[in-house]
Amino acid sequence: KAAIAAVEERNPFARKPEDGTLEEKMLSTMASLNVASQKGLVEMFDSTIGRSTVLMPYGGARQASETQVSVQKLPTFGITNTASVMAFGFNPDLALWSPFHSAAYAVVEACTKVACSGADWSRMRFSYQEYFERMGSDPHTWGKPLGALLGALKMQAALGLPSIGGKDSMSGTFEHIHVPPTLVAFGITTVDARDVISTEFKKAGNKIYLLRHTPLADYMPDTEQLKHNWNWLREQIKAGKVVSAWSLSYGGVAEALVKMAMGNGLGVNVKFPEEELFSLGYGSILLESRGELEGAQLLGEVTAADIVINGVRISLNKLEKAYEGRYFGIYPPRVDSRKYEMPERAGHDVEAYPGAPVEHPVVCMPVFPGTNCDYDTAKAFRRAGAEVRPFVFRNLSGEDVQNSIDEMCRRIDECHILAFCGGFSSGDEPDGSGKFIASVICNARVSASIEALQKRGGLILGICNGFQALIKSGLLPYGRTGSVTPESPTLFRNDINRHISLIARTRVESVSSPWLSGMHLGDVHSIAFSHGEGKLVVSDEEAKELFARGQVAFRYLDNPNGSNYDIEGLLSPDGHILGKMGHSE
């Protein structure tokens, strides 16, 4: 038996921060539990593996505007623009007020986020993840999951969007503490990646609009209005009129204005009723448009700096500090690293490949236990015209290891390029990254094959985990195995003491390598990074020698891991071996 309780007579969407000035209300909103930044937590999880990511978790040049959807190109051996787009919806406060309404708005929130990305909401499918308190004999307890499921079912019928999977749990109780009646709606569909837009404001002078959703008298979603709004928005995005969009959530218009501004360090100048500024606003959308729009409410425009609401100017920097401060002590997004006085860099000419031209150079690419960038690296080489020959290094038995060494030597003898990919070889055990690969490289027979490759002018590349192996084998920076000493450069845990996954900028510091023949000194690249041990540790004396000899290939402009002298990539003395932490592939 189940009984669905009556809801409290109040507007569930009216949210009022603590009393104070508008600035104080804005600061408290940005620091609130469900609005504050979780960037330090998000960066602990990889977001670039597979070369599929269309939108990073944080967008804009400053990587500061939250992305509301996951957009990933489908994995193929060729080229595709078909991507999956996925979003979720849930508000625990709304769930405590009414599980029925909460589940309905969970579906609406997921749909609105997908619509804001430029995808077609009408082709979405759902999975509901449910989590409720332990069920007993109280009918009102049973009424919570029943109410939530009925709310979700009502939205399925009204929108024509089925749920094709899900999971439920009735174990959310510890003594007298219960979880909120939880139904999280995960919605997914496909989209042409070329039609996708992001959340950050793009340009000062653009217009800011609000596309409103007005709930019905019983506070349920107005599905006809929502469908009209979502379809209208998709037309504006495809026409190139709307360039960014945000699905309103817990912090309402106030949250949206600040988070959309942070990505590119822009500002806003808007007029909007203060009593509505902090309301939840599920189903409503904040838009940035290149020009005037019909069918949406004009709030103001994007500016060069700061947040101006109803004539009150609030520093964007101040709002960012409040936004980051809530979880900074638990999941810091950054730490201060040592600043270095850079050694003198000698001028170096471009180093051309000394061997005979090869139309399709053969790339030997060993795949070790834990390697996870082999598909990405192979695709990049093939697009450049190479013939890639990957093989799996097997280690289930001693015989497998010997056979793999035999095969590796044979393949090195047949190749022009030896490439070591990124990943986590042997789970970065024992106590450090790249050690398994380094031990294979230092095997006498493998070392002999590598030396023969070097003598015939072959090239060697190591990215991330591959770079770690080159460093720990001695191939970098010395150009030969067996030359590592306790004073040699090594790669160590990031200063922030956790994994990082982000985009960082690097600058070309040398062109003394065939690998860098198409680059120029000072070129700046934005590169994906994903590692836990990427800090290059090198003595001051050896760093000066590396710079003087032109062996420092790349330096960080915004050092994400605390690498000494901001070094991101190194070359061997002859320039034929390149290792770097960034995933250029």
Q: Cα-flanking dihedrals φ and ψ of residue 115, to 5°?
A: -60, -35
Q: 435 is written with which tokens?
A: 């050690």
pLDDT at 6: 84
pLDDT bucket at 265, cuts 50 / 70 / 90: very high
Mean pLDDT of 302-311: 97
% of the chain with per-residue pLDDT over 70? 98
Contact 513, 554 (CB under 8 A): no
Best CATH choice for the domain 362-580 from the list 3.30.70.270, 3.30.70.1230, 3.40.50.880, 3.30.310.50? 3.40.50.880
Strand partners, 367: 392
Whether the bond between 477 and the residue before it is cis, its omega within 30 degrees of 0, is yes
Residue positions annotated with a catalytic role? 464, 583, 585
Q: What is the DSSP letter of 17?
A: P
Q: Tell me the two tokens of residue 45.
A: 């999880």
Other CB atoms within 10 A of residue 254 CB: 27
Q: For 449-467, what is each residue's pLDDT tens digit?
A: 999 999 999 999 999 999 9
Range 83-189: architecture per CATH? 2-Layer Sandwich (3.30)
Structural tokens at position 44: 């602990």
Please list the residues that pair with 65 across neighbouring strands.
59
User: pLDDT at position 514, please?
Assistant: 94
pLDDT of 577 above 80: yes
Q: What is the pLDDT of residue 339?
A: 82
Contacts of 134 (CB under 8 A, 6+ apart): 170, 171, 172, 173, 178
Where residue 323 falls among pLDDT bands split at 50, 70, 90?
Answer: very high
pLDDT at 479: 95
**Tell me, what's the pLDDT at 347?**
57
Alpha carbon of residue 260 to chain centroid: 17
Query: Residue 11 — pLDDT band, cuts 50, 70, 90?
Result: confident
In sequence order, what are the residues at sequence separation of 6 or more whose Cβ sits closer than 8 angstroms to the Cβ of residue 44?
Answer: 331, 498, 499, 500, 501
Report whether 282 contacts 11 (CB < 8 A): no
What burial class does residue 213 get, using C-beta atoms within 10 Å of its C-beta: 0-12 exposed, 13-18 middle, 19+ buried?
buried
Q: What is the pLDDT of residue 317?
A: 97
Whole-number Å distance between alpha carbons of 222 and 280: 15
> Who wins on pLDDT, 336 or 140?
140
Q: Tell me if 320 sits within 8 A of 267, measured CB to CB.
A: no
**Most confident among 164-178, 352-366, 375-389 (mean pLDDT):** 375-389
Averaged confidence pLDDT in the chain: 94
Cα distances (angstroms) measured from residue 226 to each of 150, 265, 298, 345: 20, 31, 19, 60
Closest Cα partner for 409 from 369, 366, 368?
Answer: 366
Q: How far is CA 520 from CA 137, 503, 575, 582, in A?
A: 73, 21, 15, 18
Q: Break the chain into its structural domains and give their ranges.
A: 19-67+198-333, 83-189, 362-580
Q: What is the pLDDT of residue 431?
A: 64
Distances (CA, A) of 75 to 49, 375, 439: 11, 10, 32
pLDDT digits (tens, 9 = 90+) for 532-549: 999 999 999 999 999 999
Q: Determine contact, residues 394/368, Cβ cutoff 8 Å.
A: no
Q: Rounded to whole angstroms, how far apart are CA atoms 449 and 439? A: 15
pLDDT the model gives residue 428: 66
pLDDT at 534: 94
DSSP assignment of 195-244 equals G--BSS---TT-EEEEE-----TTS---HHHHHHHHHHHHHHHHTT-EEE
pLDDT at residue 493 is higher than 80: yes
Closest CA to 254 of 22, 21, 11: 22
Average pLDDT in the 350-359 region?
Answer: 77
pLDDT category of residue 98 using cuts at 50, 70 and 90: very high
Interatomic CA distance for residues 181 and 288, integer angstroms: 35
8-state DSSP, 565 = G
Long-range contact set of residues 385-390: C-beta below 8 Å, sequence gap at least 24: 385/359, 385/360, 385/361, 386/360, 386/361, 386/362, 386/417, 387/360, 387/361, 387/362, 387/363, 388/363, 389/362, 389/363, 389/364, 389/365, 389/414, 389/415, 390/365, 390/366
Is the pTM here over 0.75, yes or no?
yes
More confident: 99 or 358: 99
Burial of 117 (0-12, 13-18, 19+ CB in 10 A): buried
CATH of 19-67+198-333, one of 3.40.50.300, 3.90.650.10, 3.90.226.10, 3.30.565.10: 3.90.650.10
